[in-house]
Amino acid sequence: MTLLAVTNPATLEIVGHVPDQGEAEARKAVDRAAAAAGGWRDVAPRERAEMLRRVYENLMLSRDDLVRLITAENGKATADALAEVGYAAEFFRWFAEEAVRTDGSYGTAPAGGVRSVVTARPVGIAALVTPWNFPAAMATRKLAPALAAGCTVVLKPAAETPLTALAIADLVREAGVPGGVVNVVTTTDPATVVGAWLADPRVRKVSFTGSTGVGKVLLHQAADRVLNTSMELGGNAPFVVTEDADLPAAVAGAMVAKFRNGGQACTAANRFLVHRDVAGDFVVRLGAEVEKLSVGAAADGCQIGPLISAAAVSRVRTKVDAAVAAGARITHRAALPDLPGHFYPPTVLTDVPPGADLVREEIFGPVASVLTWSTEADLLAAANDTEYGLAGYVFAGDLQRAIRLGEALDAGMVGINRGLVSDPSAPFGGVKQSGLGREGARDGLREFQETQYLAVDWS
């Protein structure tokens, strides 16, 4: 069997191997999911809920082991990995509680003689495709609601970070979830594996987190079979600072919104839109914090880890260099470590041209581009001038104004005077080309259910 080597992006050391699987293994995974589907669907909601609660407990008991796996295969800082494990586990606790609260209704038809019974049932076998940037949380955010709804699943984690997904699948089985309910396929050929799933008539759902480009390809494939789809795609989040904002709070929020996981998050602040009157002060304060950041390997206690690959570093560097050539200025930078990994220095730029790729496209790196504005009309035009609409952030002294500006942003999620929007109890997702559907909250469970209506003759 061909093996896939998993490499630490901070040290370039191989940390493990997993099977490099293909179409045959993908079909066998669906076979197992299909064999388990009827039994899992018929498990009482309370029993499913108790299993999911045990998964949460298993994740928390295994927290240190999962942190070591995440830092080894993803490279992120230990503090970021700890936060991710807690966040990932919380999805199982939340959906354990939601598993016994499926929606339904009963009513009388207006014409009389008929009773309407409306229920929710599992959509069926679900294909889950997850990225490398949050290898635990992106898996559990899909797994937990799918299992709560009564679906069996086939899961393809990113080739860069498969170890965490396999560990989570083990913890799911240890919690009593029957074999065949969760099936993980690791591969360097995602198009073949996922393509086999989308062509299989037994698969009735695809849930994908990743780039908008790949999402569009999957949507085209899903359309051939009219598959139920959920798409959590790219972002280009504006971070708005008004002239009356609390600047220390705005800078603290910016450090979270921009530099969590080294900026490798779809919700990361991509463009800082700061009022002209306070822009200079904001840049000085932000730059001072950025220069303090320690960059390196998780084992060294760093705050910022590497980017996931050499290609990712090259992509960020190309965007920054092009912006500088067009007139942008680098005002602050953190120091880089003497390590062989894929590092890029946390950077602050000003005078960034509005048309630069650095602000038009998702950076996915530790780079803060600062632009200025004077009127709210100009601000909103700039903030919404993107095909993406996942997240946004507003820092303002006047709360009513902050909410008004937040409501005017074309974004599915907006942080008001805070730099973090993700929460298992809240609906995660975007508008425009940032995706379809929602994850988390009650909405996340509905993504894995279909509505059935029974018309009962009552005459």
Chain segment 208-226, per-residue pLDDT in tens: 999 999 999 999 999 999 9
Angle between helices 45-61 and 78-98 (to 10 degrees): 170
> What is the reported pLDDT for 156?
98
Chain segment 244-276, per-residue pLDDT in tens: 999 999 999 999 999 999 999 999 999 999 999
> What is the reported pLDDT for 271?
97
> What is the reported pLDDT for 102?
81
Asked if the model's pLDDT at residue 143 lies above 90, the reply is yes
* CA dihedral sign, ordered 281, 285, 291, 296: negative
The mean of the pLDDT values for the chain is 97
- Among candidate residues 90, 98, 232, 362, the one labeled active-site is 232
> What is the reported pLDDT for 459?
82
Reading phi first (left if > 0) and then psi (alpha if -120 to 50, else beta), residue 282 is in alpha
Scanning 185-328, the segments in alpha helix (DSSP H) are: 190-199, 212-225, 247-259, 279-292, 310-325
What does the pLDDT average to over 56-64? Answer: 98
pLDDT grade, residue 69 (50/70/90)? very high
Asked if the model's pLDDT at residue 66 lies above 90, the reply is yes
CA distances (Å), 254 to each of 44, 222, 249, 392, 424, in order?
45, 37, 8, 11, 22
> What is the reported pLDDT for 103?
83
The yes-or-no answer on residue 232 being catalytic is: yes
Chain segment 266-315, per-residue pLDDT in tens: 999 999 999 999 999 999 999 999 999 999 999 999 999 999 999 999 99
> What is the reported pLDDT for 358?
95
> What is the reported pLDDT for 1?
78
Residue 299 in tokens = 């084992």
- For residue 370, how many C-alpha atoms fall within 13 Å in the half-sphere facing its CB? 25
- Among candidate residues 73, 98, 151, 266, the one labeled active-site is 266
What does the pLDDT average to over 3-15? Answer: 98
The yes-or-no answer on residue 266 being catalytic is: yes
Chain segment 340-398, per-residue pLDDT in tens: 999 999 999 999 999 999 999 999 999 999 999 999 999 999 999 999 999 999 999 99
Quote the CA–CA distance of 77 and 67 in Å, as a whole number. Answer: 9
